[in-house]
Chains A and B, each alone.
Chain A
Amino acid sequence: MKLFEYKAKEILKKHGIPVPVGFVVSRPDEIRSISGPVMVKAQVLIGGWGKAGGIKPAEDVEQARRVASGIIGMSIRGYIAKEVLVERRLDVAKELYLGITIDRSRRSLVIMASPDGGMDIENVPENRILIEPVDPLIGYSPYIGRRVAAFVGVKKEQASQVANICRRMCELVMTEDAELAEINPLVITRDGKVVAGDAKVTIDSDALFRHREYDSLAEDLTPLEEKAKKLDIAFVQLEGNIGVIANGAGLTMATLDSINMFGGKAGVFLDLGGTDDPKKVKDAMLLMREAKPKVVLINIFGGITKCDTVAKGVLEAIEGQARKFPIVVRIKGVNEDIARGMLKDAGMILASGLSEAAELASKESLKVV
C-alpha cells in the first residue's frame, strides 16, 4: 500500500529522520500562516506531478493560497489531487538518493544510494548507484551506514548524519513492514543539515494484520477496484472488452495471453483465487457485470475450488437479471460434469479447453452488434 508523501514524512519523522516543517490541507483557506518561503505540493500517488504543475513555490500566505487553489482538484491520468502539502522550502546545496527495497534474487533487503539525487533513479548510471544488501541473519550494523556515506561522498560533518538516516530507514522498514522506503532527494542544505526533501513509503499489504494503524488510509483505486479489494478478489481494469474470470494469477494471465492470440482483448482481469464459497463467485460475477464487458470468459481449473461451487455462484449472480453479454465457460476439475450441466442449461457457451474458450470469447468480442 503506497502512502501519500505527507504520511510517509510523518513516518520518517516518527523514526527520527529530519523532514521539512509543513502541514497538509484540503482547502486553500486552511493555509493561515507560513514562516518564510514554502513549496506547495500536490498529494498524489503517481509520479510526474512536478512537471505537470503539481509542485509550486510560494512566498507568502496569499500566494500559497492562490497556488493551492490551482493545484487542489487538478487531475492527471484519472487521479485527482485532493490535498496539498505546504512545507518550508529547503536551501539546497546538494541532492542525494537513498532507498531501501526488496531484492528478490538476493532474498534480502537492499539499500540503494547515489550522490545523484533529485532525478529518477532509473536514469542514474549504474556506477553511480551503490547497492548494499542487508544480510537477514546479520541485520543492520553501522558498517553499512559508513559504506553508504563514503559512497555518496559527503563531508565529514554530514557523513555521520547520512549514516544515521540510513540506520533509521532500516529500522523504519523493519518495524513498519515497508516494502519500499525512498528519499529522493535527500537534501544537504547550505547550513549543513541533511533533510528528506521527498519521501515514498509503501507498506507490505500482507503485513497489515499487524499494523491496524494503516486501516484508515485510502488507496488510489478506481471504485470497482476498491469494491474488489473489500471482497478479497484480484481485479484489474484493462483496455479491452472481454471480462476474464479465472482462478489463480498465472492461469488468469495465461487466459489473457490466449485471448490475445485469437485477436481478442481483455477488459477485466479477475482472479478468484482459491475459493469454495459460491457467495464469493457470485460477488465476483456481479462485480464483473458492473465493469460492463461485451463478453465474459470464465476459465476454472478446480483444485481447492470445486466446479459446481463456481457454477452455483455464477447462476445465482445472473438469476432474474437480463443478460447483456454472452458467457463462455471452460471448467475443469472436481465435479466438472455437474457444473457443465448446470451452466449449459442456463444458455452459456461451453468450451472444452483453454484455446477453444479463448477463440470463442474472442470471436464473440469482435462481433458487430
Chain B
Amino acid sequence: MAVIVDNDTKLVVQGITGYQGTYHSKAMRDFGTKVVAGTSPGKGGEKVNDIPVYESVAEAIQNEGANTSCIFVPAPFCKDAALEAIDAGIGTIVIITEHLPVLDAIHLVAVARSRGVTVLGPNCPGIASPGKAKVGILPNKIFKQGNIGVVSKSGTLTYEIVNAITEHKLGQSTCVGIGGDRVSGMSFIDVLERFQSDRQTKQIVLVGEIGGTAEEEAAEFIKKNVDKPVVAYIAGRTAPPGKRMGHAGAIIARGRGTAESKIKALEAAGLKVAKIPTDVPELLR
C-alpha cells in the first residue's frame, strides 16, 4: 500500500521549464515516479527531459491522464496554478513553492477541501513512497522501503531523520512533508488517519516544531484514533519566544506553541518523544 502517492500516481509538473522544475522532474522520474507531463504557459509543445510540456493542466489530463500535480511556480502565480489544477480535476496537489501569501493559502486550501482535493504544502518538501513514487524535492538516496510512516512539518530535518532511520536498517512506507507555513493543506491529523488505515505502515514518526497547536491536536487524535506506535520529535526546545525561527509558523507567540506544551501533550498521549533527532531510530521497534 503506502499513502497518497504510489504506482498509480501520474504526475504533471507545473512550472517544469524553470530550474527547479527541470531538475526535480528528472530526479522524481529517477526515483520511479511516472512523470507524464509538465505545464508552462507559452511553452506548450516543448519537451523537458523528454517529458511533454503543455499549456494547461487540463491538456495534461486529457492527453496523458495526469492525476497528481507538483507545483514549482513562483509565489505570485502559485494560487492560480493550484486553482487551475483543482478546476481541471487533479486529485492530489503538492505545492513546493515557498513564501506564498497566507491569504492565498487560505483561499486555495478552502477551495480544494470543498472539492475533496488533497493538498500538501505550500512550502513543503513533498512526499515519497519508497519503491513506488516520489512527488517533491526530497533527496532520492536517503530512503529504503519498509513499514515506518513519517509525517513532518519540516524539510531538511525530515531528511535528517529519514536518513537516520535508513542507517539503522529500517525502512519507510511513506514520508509526508506537510510544510511549515501557518496555513497548509493536509494536517498531521489528515496524514495520521491515512497511516492508521494503511496496511504497510506499522509504526509512525511525527516530526513537529514550535508554533501553532497542530502537535497538540495530533496528540489528542492519536490518543483516540491511532493504535500503531508513534515516535515524535519536536524541533525548537531551545528557541526563544517572540522570534520567528525561519519558518513562517515557527514562532512562540503569546506563550502558545512552545516545545514543552507539545512534548507534554504527546507524552500524555502515550508517545515516545526523542530529545534530539538522531535518537528517533532507537525509539522505534
Contacts and interface: CB of A to CB of B under 8 A. Distances in A.
Interface in A233-255: 234, 236, 238-239, 246-254
B99 A206 contact: yes
B125 interface: yes
Interface in B13-33: 20
A156 B243 CA distance: 43
Highest count of chain A CB atoms <10 Å: which of B20, B212, B278: B278
Nearest to A266: B238
B202 interface: no
A137 interface: yes
Contact of A108 (B100, B106, B125, B275): B106
Nearest to B250: A249
Contact of A251 (B156, B212, B213, B214): B156
Contacts of A236: 243-245
Contacts of B212: 104-105
A250 B103 contact: no
Given A104-B212, A251-B160, A269-B245, A137 B110 contact: yes
Contacts of B254: 122
B238 A136 contact: no
A254 B235 contact: yes
Given A206-B99, A207-B103, A253-B236, A107 B137 contact: no
A269 B48 CA distance: 38
A266 B238 CA distance: 9
Chain B CB within 10 A, most for which of A102, A177, A250, A269: A250
B191 to A, nearest CB: 15
Contacts of A269: 239, 243, 245-246
B236 A257 contact: yes
Contacts of B153: 250
Contacts of B226: none
Interface of B is mostly: loop
A177 B105 CA distance: 12
A204 B207 contact: no
Given A105-B213, A105-B217, A251 B154 contact: yes
B62 interface: no
A303 interface: yes
B110 A136 contact: yes
B58 interface: no
Interface string B161-202: 001000000000000000010111000000000000000000
Given A204-B102, A204-B103, A249-B209, A355 B245 contact: no
A177 B154 contact: no
Nearest to B74: A209
A104 B183 contact: yes
Interface string B90-115: 00000000011111101101110010
Nearest to B99: A206
B210 interface: yes
A177 B275 contact: no
B276 interface: yes
B102 A206 contact: yes
Interface string B123-149: 001000000000001110000000000
B23 to A, nearest CB: 8
A253 B239 contact: yes
**Which one of A136, A177, A256, A259 has the greatest number of beta carbons of chain B within 10 Å?**
A136
Nearest to A175: B103
Contacts of B246: 234, 248-249, 252-253, 269, 271, 273
Contact count band on B:
35 or more
Contacts of B69: none
Interface residues of A, number: 54
B282 to A, nearest CB: 12
Contact of B156 (A122, A179, A238, A303): A303
Contacts of B213: 104-105
B111 A137 contact: yes
A304 B98 CA distance: 14
A140 to B, nearest CB: 13
A258 interface: yes
Contacts of B103: 173-174, 177, 204, 207
B106 A109 contact: yes
Contacts of A271: 245-246
Contacts of A250: 152-158, 180, 207, 209, 235, 247, 250
Interface string B211-249: 011100100000000000000010111111001111111
B45 interface: no
Interface in A16-44: none
Nearest to A250: B154
B242 to A, nearest CB: 9
Interface string B246-261: 1111100011000000
Given A250-B247, A256-B236, A358-B276, 16 more contacts: A107-B106, A109-B106, A204-B101, A207-B101, A207-B103, A210-B76, A248-B154, A250-B156, A250-B157, A250-B207, A251-B160, A253-B250, A257-B235, A258-B278, A301-B160, A303-B155
18 contacts: A105-B214, A135-B110, A177-B101, A207-B104, A238-B240, A248-B156, A249-B250, A251-B157, A253-B210, A253-B246, A254-B277, A257-B235, A257-B276, A258-B277, A271-B246, A301-B156, A302-B139, A303-B137
Interface of A: 102, 104-105, 107-109, 122, 135-137, 173-174, 177, 179, 204, 206-207, 209-210, 234, 236, 238-239, 246-254, 256-261, 266, 269, 271, 273-274, 301-304, 332-334, 353-355, 358
Interface of B: 20, 75-76, 99-104, 106-107, 109-111, 114, 125, 137-139, 152-160, 163, 180, 182-184, 207, 209-210, 212-214, 217, 233, 235-240, 243-250, 254-255, 275-278
